[in-house]
Amino acid sequence: MEDRQERACKLVELYLSKIFGSLRVYRENHKFLIPWGFSAINAFVYRREEEVFIGINAPVALRVPNNKELLQFLLAENNSLTGCAFSVEFEGDVLDILIGVKLRFEDITRDSLEFITLTVGNLANEYGREIIAVFGGITFKEYIEKESVKENTSGEKLLHATIFAGDRELLLEMYMVKDGSYSIICRPADEVDRILINARREGEPSSVFKLFENVKDSLEEGNIKLLKTMLTDYEINLDLVCEVMSKHSRHANKLRDMKKVITELSDQFINGKISHREYKKRLSDIEREFGLQ
């Protein structure tokens, strides 16, 4: 069954790379993340008894104050949606809203995966703007940039390292946020409020220790391209990393320009200014330009 699940993961990764471009798809074990506007598309392959399933969801709005009118709105919208639905996760007086669907892997084709992922991602962005404007809350992107840093530095500090990247001194730290959940934080020693890296991992501590060492080595070597393969678009502040390491890495300015172009291209597609075909063509051109094909 493990082999079947892994084969499914490889096929899903291939399909997602064709749909969104390999530069936008981040994989961690059986989970995939694609940055998408103010949200992110998550795909995860899992098994249940003898069958393999794929779940696809995207955060719509996070930390939304819980109230009866909001829940009534979500229930009413669920009645009008086809093929996907809202779900909520409660945390005290606030809740996180996601939209998604779960399917049997054997029913998935590249065309159906393209339709589902794009629909879920675009609905998350559209509903997110509406829900936050009316009911409050923050976007997934805002949560990653602000709130998650507080959460990820609230636990026990397990490791601490001082790194010299060129003429800049950086602090790299690993925290145990809770049992089985760890974070890696990196910031300039002289500007501790500016975060270069804010990564969260679940699982065995040994795998996070390994990631910590790999991140440390990449920063010391100025290998931003390798650093970017280990972390998602939301876990690394590429603009700040390139700014800090501009004298230490010959790839810094090139990667910063690449991120800017890709972000603008994705925004154009999400907002309906270009077609999916045009998006994929131009993204493929970017990959070739930067030597990634």
Q: Please indicate, yes or no, whether residues 129 and 15 belong to a single structural domain of this protein.
A: yes
Q: Please indicate, yes or no, whether residues 243 and 261 belong to a single structural domain of this protein.
A: no
Structural domain boundaries enclosing 264: 256-289
85-103: average pLDDT: 95
Give me the helices (H) in the chain, please: 2-20, 68-80, 110-135, 140-142, 148-152, 205-221, 224-230, 238-244, 252-270, 276-289
Q: Please list, in sequence order, all residues whose beta carbon lies within 8 angstroms of the beta carbon of residue 214, skipping any fewer than 6 positions away.
A: 226, 230
Instruction: Give helix then strand counts, H and E, for the chain.
Output: 10, 10
Domain boundary among the residues 138, 161, 188 is at 138
Q: DSSP character for 144? A: I
On whether residue 54 sits in a domain, the answer given is yes
Q: Please indicate, yes or no, whether residues 236 and 198 belong to a single structural domain of this protein.
A: yes
User: pTM, whole model, 2 decimals?
Assistant: 0.85
Q: Please indicate, yes or no, whether residues 244 and 260 belong to a single structural domain of this protein.
A: no
Q: Please indicate, yes or no, whether residues 10 and 105 belong to a single structural domain of this protein.
A: yes
Check whether 90 has a pLDDT greater than 90.
yes
Please give the pLDDT value at position 140. Answer: 95
Q: Please indicate, yes or no, whether residues 239 and 266 belong to a single structural domain of this protein.
A: no
On whether residue 105 sits in a domain, the answer given is yes
Pairwise CA distance, residues 21 & 32, whole Å: 13
Count of domains in the chain? 3
Q: Please indicate, yes or no, whether residues 52 and 134 belong to a single structural domain of this protein.
A: yes
pLDDT tens digits, one per residue of 152-200: 999 999 999 999 887 789 999 999 998 889 999 999 998 878 899 999 9
Q: Please indicate, yes or no, whether residues 80 and 177 belong to a single structural domain of this protein.
A: no
Other CB atoms closer than 10 Å to residue 172's CB: what's the count? 21
Check whether 211 has a pLDDT greater than 80.
yes
Average pLDDT, the chain: 90
On whether residue 146 sits in a domain, the answer given is no
pLDDT tens digits, one per residue of 18-69: 999 888 899 988 999 999 999 999 999 998 888 899 999 999 999 999 999 9
85-108: average pLDDT: 94
Q: DSSP character for 82? A: S
Q: Please indicate, yes or no, whether residues 133 and 182 belong to a single structural domain of this protein.
A: no
Q: Please indicate, yes or no, whether residues 59 and 108 belong to a single structural domain of this protein.
A: yes
Pairwise CA distance, residues 174 & 159, whole Å: 5
Report the first-to-last Cα separation within the chain, whole angstroms.
32
125-153: average pLDDT: 93
Q: Please indicate, yes or no, whether residues 204 and 223 belong to a single structural domain of this protein.
A: yes
Pairwise CA distance, residues 169 & 245, whole Å: 10
